[in-house]
Amino acid sequence: NAGVTQTPKFRVLKTGQSMTLLCAQDMNHEYMYWYRQDPGMGLRLIHYSVGEGTTAKGEVPDGYNVSRLKKQNFLLGLESAAPSQTSVYFCASSYEGVYWHSPLHFGNGTRLTVT
Amino acid sequence: QQQVKQSPQSLIVQKGGISIINCAYENTAFDYFPWYQQFPGKGPALLIAIRPDVSEKKEGRFTISFNKSAKQFSLHIMDSQPGDSATYFCAASLTNYNAGGTSYGKLTFGQGTILTVHP
From A59's Cα to the closest Cα of chain B, the distance in A is 9
Residue B110 and residue B90 in contact, taking contact as beta carbons nearer than 8 Å: yes
Query: Over the stretch A25-37, which tens digit does the pLDDT of each residue have?
Result: 999 999 999 999 9
Residue B26 and residue B108 in contact, taking contact as beta carbons nearer than 8 Å: no
pLDDT at A60: 96
Ranges of chain B whose pLDDT falls below 70: 1-2, 102
Half-sphere exposure for B24 (CA within 13 Å, toward CB): 6
> Residue A101 — pLDDT band, cuts 50, 70, 90?
confident
Backbone angles phi, psi at A23, to 5 degrees: -125, 135
From A108's Cα to the closest Cα of chain B, the distance in A is 4
pLDDT at B59: 96
Which 63-92 residues of chain A touch chain B by CB within 8 A? 90, 92
Query: Which residues from A are below 8 Å from B103, CB to CB?
Result: 97
From A92's Cα to the closest Cα of chain B, the distance in A is 9
pLDDT at B94: 86
Q: Does A96 touch chain B (CB under 8 A)?
A: yes
Q: Does A61 touch chain B (CB under 8 A)?
A: no
pLDDT at A29: 95
- Check pLDDT > 70 for residue A17: yes
Are A99 and B109 inside 8 Å of each other by CB? no
Substitution target in A27, A37, A38, A43 with the highest count of B β-carbons within 10 Å is: A43
Query: Which residues from A are below 8 Å from B110, CB to CB?
Result: 42
Q: Does A95 touch chain B (CB under 8 A)?
A: no
Query: Over the stretch A46-93, which tens digit does the pLDDT of each residue have?
Result: 999 999 999 999 999 999 999 999 999 999 999 999 999 999 999 999
Query: Which residues from B are below 8 Å from A99, CB to CB?
Result: 32, 93, 95, 104-105
A87 residue type, one letter: S
A38 torsion bin: left (phi>0), alpha (psi -120 to 50), beta (else)? beta
Instruction: Choose the closest CB to B43 out of A41, A90, A97.
Output: A90
Query: Which residues from A are below 8 Å from B45, CB to CB?
Result: 106
pLDDT at A50: 92
Q: Is B79 helix (H, G, I), strand (E, B) or coil?
A: coil
pLDDT at A99: 82
pLDDT at B106: 84
pLDDT at A66: 98
SS (H, E, C) B2-55: CCEEEECCEEEEECCCCEEEEEEECCCCCCEEEEEEECCCCCCEEEEEECCCCC
